[in-house]
Amino acid sequence: MLKSILLNGQATQQIDIQDRGLQYGDGLFETLRVQDSRVPLWNRHWQRLKKGCLRLAIPLPEQDLLLEEIHSLIAGEEQAVLKLIITRGKGERGYASPTTLLPSRILMLSDGPDYPPAYRKSGIRLYTCETRLGINPALAGIKHLNRLEQVLARNEWQSPDYQEGLLLDTQGHVMEGTMSNIFWVKAQQLYTADLSHCGVEGVMREIVMEIAKENGISLNIGLWSKSVLLDADEIFVTNSLIGIWPVSYIFNMTLPAGPVTQQLQSMLQAKYDI
Amino acid sequence: MLKSILLNGQATQQIDIQDRGLQYGDGLFETLRVQDSRVPLWNRHWQRLKKGCLRLAIPLPEQDLLLEEIHSLIAGEEQAVLKLIITRGKGERGYASPTTLLPSRILMLSDGPDYPPAYRKSGIRLYTCETRLGINPALAGIKHLNRLEQVLARNEWQSPDYQEGLLLDTQGHVMEGTMSNIFWVKAQQLYTADLSHCGVEGVMREIVMEIAKENGISLNIGLWSKSVLLDADEIFVTNSLIGIWPVSYIFNMTLPAGPVTQQLQSMLQAKYDI
């Protein structure tokens, strides 16, 4: 449930209809985990937002101002979810950027996350989506507001028996989940998708890659067809809110929450308290 | 300049920040030409909107209600532009559709279009964009709100010497303009892009294809590399507001407003008063 919103520092529920975020999806977002009145992974989210703003040529908000607003909003919150949206701001008709840009910064504080602890322990069931991710290096990696592919994919299943959906790209490569990144293990080695042509480079994906490296687990990044998952020893998905969830079911196949997944979960818990 | 807005029938400037149009670009739009208090191409725009709503599983608004709101807004308007946006409406956090959908319908009335008559007569200069259109059949053809590719492409040039930009897909095929469809003529035959894997199926593109057929001009629809444009006798772009604009400059090459383009313009004028 949504608790409160700040738009450019002001409490409100509303935004200008001429905002280019609505008109064109012309903006970026971050979904942040709030813990004990803090945003523990702030710096990583900030770095990705910075990269996204640079890519879309949207002026980056001042970090101090943003942090001030964030802290005013999350003070006293033990556990919550904060969504940060930056748009190019209001504009007249047409795709051309306004000559004077006044980006909108939106902070939305919600309850949660309230996922059952069993997802982390025993794993989740992965639905295989028909919707594919279009290939476009210009938009790959960043967390922009053009999310119709994710919306279509997520709405392919209604059953609560599936907690996440697997997305391939239009060439059939394994890419990510609708709201997470995907990793798999084969013969003690870790694998994940190359996201230079589509997908979102998740903050938790980055952390898992670092932890794997620190612990001598080999990581392979590339483009693979979905048959690699049929052959995997372990599969898991990651994002900033969930940390690591083992995948216990995919393609009519059941898997255990395997030793590499559990090792990475423990290291994540020890180092980042997630 | 924007003159007025109706959101679900109410005059306002604001929309709920939780609207999925802003959160995910989860919606569709149409840009309609208003002439003498009427929307002459309404039925064609309505058909495309219907197709888009079906594709995205957004409930279609009632046509009678929409037309009532449109006519209340455009009464007395001799020449204007009306933008219609339909979004999936307000939602809580996450890509899954709300169980109860209350789509938002937005009508935005603006002045214009006020393009110099020379564009139609002598033609326009086409900038060749670096930004490519990603390939995704699930979103191809419809006019959805995920428009970052167009925003990036349109912002590649600031010079007023260019009136439109040429977009290729990520495989290098000629697709469309940032706000228009593209046609070219070679040896009296007409050519345009197959838009089944990306691009927007414009209302004016459809009309031009019909007029060509009625007048015995052969039309070829397919996927072509940009070298076909280097070799074209005539090139033109189309949309509902501009009708047909000849392209007089592309790739350091100048072209005349050729006979087939002029013939199609005359027929469009005679039949549709555009």
Per-residue pLDDT at A138 exceeds 90 = yes
Nearest to B18 among A2, A26, A57 (CB): A2
Secondary structure (3-state) at B63: helix
Q: What is the largest CA-CA distance in chain A?
A: 56
Secondary structure (3-state) at B83: strand
Written as six digits, the tokens of A234 are: 């372990």
**Cis peptide leading into A113, omega within 30 of 0?**
yes
Q: What's residue A114's pLDDT?
A: 87
Average pLDDT over chain A, rounded to an integer: 97
Written as six digits, the tokens of B272 are: 């549709």
**What letter would DSSP give residue A90?**
B
The neighbour count for residue B128, using CB atoms within 10 Å, is: 16
Q: What's residue B127's pLDDT?
A: 98
Asked if B22 and A22 come within 8 Å (Cβ–Cβ), the reply is: yes
Per-residue pLDDT band at B98 (split at 50, 70, 90): very high
Q: What's residue A112's pLDDT?
A: 85
Asked if A145 and B148 come within 8 Å (Cβ–Cβ), the reply is: yes
Per-residue pLDDT at A185 exceeds 90 = yes
Asked if B132 and A138 come within 8 Å (Cβ–Cβ), the reply is: yes
The reply to whether B83 touches chain A by the CB within 8 Å rule is yes
Q: Looking at CA atoms only, how far is residue B9 from chain A in angstroms?
A: 14
| Separation in Å, CA A213 to CA A40, A190, A196, A209, A264 | 21, 10, 20, 6, 11
The 10s digit of each residue's pLDDT in B151-188 is 999 999 999 999 999 999 999 999 999 999 999 999 99
- Please report, for chain B, the start and end positions of each structural domain, with discontinuous segments joined by +: 2-110, 117-272
Asked if A154 and B24 come within 8 Å (Cβ–Cβ), the reply is: no
Architecture of B2-110 per CATH? 2-Layer Sandwich (3.30)
Amino acid, single-letter form, for residue B179 = M
Per-residue pLDDT band at B207 (split at 50, 70, 90): very high
Return the percentage of chain B with pLDDT > 70, whole number. Answer: 100
β-strand pairing of A124-133 with A243-250: parallel
Per-residue pLDDT band at B145 (split at 50, 70, 90): very high
Interface of A with B in 13-32 (CB under 8 A): 13-26
Contacts of B92 in chain A (CB under 8 A): 1-2, 110
Contacts of A56 in chain B (CB under 8 A): 148, 151-152
Torsion angle, alpha carbons of A43, A46, A52, A58, to 10 = -150
Written as six digits, the tokens of A102 are: 């006044």
Separation of alpha carbons A129 and B195, rounded Å: 23
Closest CA to B22 of A265, A15, A149: A15
The backbone region for B160, taken as left when phi is positive above 0, alpha when psi lies in -120 to 50, beta otherwise, is alpha
- Domain B117-272 fold is D-amino Acid Aminotransferase; Chain A, domain 2 (3.20.10)
Return the percentage of chain A with pLDDT > 90, whole number. Answer: 98
Task: Report residue A63 CA to chain centroid gap.
Answer: 21
Of the candidates A87, A176, A238, A261, the residue annotated as catalytic is A176
Q: What's residue A182's pLDDT?
A: 98
Contacts of B150 in chain A (CB under 8 A): 24, 95
A44 versus B99: which is more confidently predicted?
Answer: A44
Separation of alpha carbons A124 and B146, rounded Å: 30
Per-residue pLDDT at B232 exceeds 90 = yes
Q: What's residue B238's pLDDT?
A: 98
Q: Looking at CA atoms only, how far is residue A270 from chain B in angstroms?
A: 28
The 10s digit of each residue's pLDDT in A15-72 is 999 999 999 999 999 999 999 999 999 999 999 999 999 999 999 999 999 999 999 9
Number of residues assigned to chain A? 274
Separation of alpha carbons A110 and A33, rounded Å: 10
The 10s digit of each residue's pLDDT in B112-128 is 888 999 999 999 999 99
Identify whether A176 is a catalytic site residue.
Answer: yes
Q: Annotate A104-148 with DSSP letters as a single string.
A: EEEEEEE------HHHHHT-EEEEEEEEEEPB-TTTSBS-BS--H
Asked if B23 and A131 come within 8 Å (Cβ–Cβ), the reply is: no
Contacts of A198 in chain B (CB under 8 A): 134
Lowest mean pLDDT among A36-40, A84-88, B110-114, B204-208: B110-114
Structural Rg of chain B based on CA atoms: 19
Per-residue pLDDT band at A216 (split at 50, 70, 90): very high
Interface of B with A in 249-268 (CB under 8 A): none
Separation of alpha carbons A220 and A211, rounded Å: 14
Secondary structure (3-state) at A204: helix
Per-residue pLDDT at A266 exceeds 90 = yes
Of the candidates A30, A31, A192, A238, the residue annotated as catalytic is A31
The neighbour count for residue A105, using CB atoms within 10 Å, is: 19
Angle B267-B273-B274 from CA coordinates, rounded to 5°: 85
Q: What's residue A22's pLDDT?
A: 98
Q: What's residue B113's pLDDT?
A: 87
Written as six digits, the tokens of B1 are: 């300049």
The 10s digit of each residue's pLDDT in A165-178 is 999 999 999 999 99
Per-residue pLDDT band at A226 (split at 50, 70, 90): very high
Written as six digits, the tokens of A183 are: 């990793």
Strand segments (E) across chain B: 2-7, 10-11, 14-16, 27-35, 79-87, 104-110, 124-133, 164-169, 174-177, 181-186, 189-193, 219-222, 234-239, 243-250, 253-254
Nearest to A24 among B24, B26, B145 (CB): B145
Same fold, B2-110 and B117-272: no
Q: Looking at CA atoms only, how far is residue A25 from chain B in angstroms?
A: 5
Written as six digits, the tokens of B80 are: 């204007």
Written as six digits, the tokens of B163 are: 């009136």
Interface of A with B in 107-146 (CB under 8 A): 108, 110, 112, 131-139, 144-146
The 10s digit of each residue's pLDDT in B51-91 is 999 999 999 999 999 999 999 999 999 999 999 999 999 99
Per-residue pLDDT band at A113 (split at 50, 70, 90): confident
Interface of A with B in 229-248 (CB under 8 A): none
Per-residue pLDDT at A183 exceeds 90 = yes
Section B143-147 average pLDDT: 98
- Is residue A166 within 8 A of residue A253, CB to CB? The reply is no
Contacts of B25 in chain A (CB under 8 A): 24-25, 145-148
The interface pTM score, or ipTM, of the predicted complex is 0.97
Average pLDDT over chain B, rounded to an integer: 97
- Confidence (pTM): 0.97
Number of residues assigned to chain B? 274
The reply to whether B33 touches chain A by the CB within 8 Å rule is no
Per-residue pLDDT at A237 exceeds 90 = yes
- Catalogue the active-site residues of B: 31, 143, 176
Contacts of B108 in chain A (CB under 8 A): 17-18
Separation of alpha carbons B123 and B115, rounded Å: 12
β-strand pairing of B10-11 with B124-133: unpaired
Q: Looking at CA atoms only, how far is residue B148 from chain A in angstroms?
A: 6
Separation of alpha carbons A172 and A168, rounded Å: 5
Separation of alpha carbons A186 and B148, rounded Å: 37
